Amino acid sequence: MTATDILFRGLQVHWDELFPTADERALKAANEYFNLPAASPDELADFIKSKWDMISKDQKGNGKDKDADVRGVFSMILDRAVGIEIEGKVDDAFAAM
């Protein structure tokens, strides 16, 4: 994971040209900790879109721009998965599920 990976992960929420962007560490963490299909950024993005109606309204953004909201959820999932790994709070995350 490089600084560019982290920057692009956050910027893709605002710049659709960067979507979907995910580094290998973030994809692996999303798969390992959230059991999400994340062999590639496209696979994870497609999964999020296919489950959109099941995602909590609190997580979806303002609802005015679905594409931007999908990018936000995508980025949030990756950030949280990497955060769990970095902070070593894997057990806490599983206990909360």
pLDDT by position in tens, the chain (length 97): 678 888 998 899 999 899 999 999 999 999 998 899 999 999 999 999 999 988 877 777 777 788 989 999 999 999 989 998 888 876 666 555 5
Written as one string, the DSSP assignment of 49-80 is HHTGGGS-GGGSTTSS-HHHHHHHHHHHHHHH
C-beta separation of 20 from 42 below 8 A: yes
* Structural domain boundaries, residue 83: 3-96
Both tokens of residue 78?
């990756």
- Alpha carbon separation from 37 to 7, 14, 63, 80 (Å, rounded): 23, 24, 25, 16
Q: What is the pTM of this model?
A: 0.85
Number of domains in the chain: 1
Amino acid, single-letter form, for residue 71: R
